[in-house]
A = this chain, B = another copy of it.
Amino acid sequence: MFFQIVILQVPAIAYGGPKTTGDQPSPSSTKIAESLVLIEFVADLFPNSSLLPKDPVLRAKTRFFIDTFANKFGPALFTFQSGKAPNGAEGIFSAIGQLQDLMAPEGLAIGDGTEFTLADAAVIPFFGRMEVSLKNDFGAFPEGEGKSTWEALQTDKRFARWKKYWDTAKARESFKTTFDEDYLTKSYSTRWTRA
């Protein structure tokens, strides 16, 4: 089994075909795009991993969690960062509350919280980017609103389960070795400059 990550659309995978460099995928490989399609594909390639639970109900819960993330949290964060959220951070708080309600009581997101699933794979990179964006006040929101939103997520009891989740997720080895906070911070600082 061979697949490589290539830059076609971000992110995409070229699957099968001969080995090539990442920027020159073979015409005979299959190109697969869209992050939520890709993570299901990886789960299909590794059916014995924990990425999707075996139980159909837990699988549905995994997908419902991802659906809530994609359709509630994603738009709320985007609107806030664009400075177009009518009620400031309330959209983010509401979406975090909904995700929290779908989480296992402790640990990771699904089932008994002991297994890393697609639900975690879907949200962790975005929570990481949210943290960098908010705590450095990078965004088109009024000055200080990023920092105060991050502060609320860290200290308000309403978000206690989410904060615990995020601390657990960040402590994982795979996060620490792949999440490049310095790079993101530099990149966001040039994108969001305040006068």
Contacts and interface: CB of A to CB of B under 8 A. Distances in A.
A59 B40 contact: yes
Interface in A27-44: 30, 32-34, 36-38, 40-41, 44
Contacts of A36: 63, 67
Size range of the interface on A?
Answer: 20 to 34
Contacts of A41: 56-57, 59-60, 63
Nearest to A60: B41
Copies of this protein, total: 2
A15 interface: yes
A97 interface: no
B34 A67 contact: yes
A171 interface: no
Contact of A45 (B34, B56, B64): B56
Nearest to A32: B60
A88 interface: no
A67 to B, nearest CB: 5
A143 to B, nearest CB: 33
Contacts of A56: 41, 44-45
Nearest to A42: B56
Interface string A10-38: 00000110000000000000101110111
Contacts of A44: 56, 59-60
Contacts of A57: 15-16, 30, 32, 41
Contact of A32 (B33, B34, B64): B64
Nearest to A15: B57
Contacts of A38: 60
Contacts of A45: 56
Contacts of A37: 60, 63-64, 67
Interface of A: 15-16, 30, 32-34, 36-38, 40-41, 44-45, 56-57, 59-60, 63-64, 67
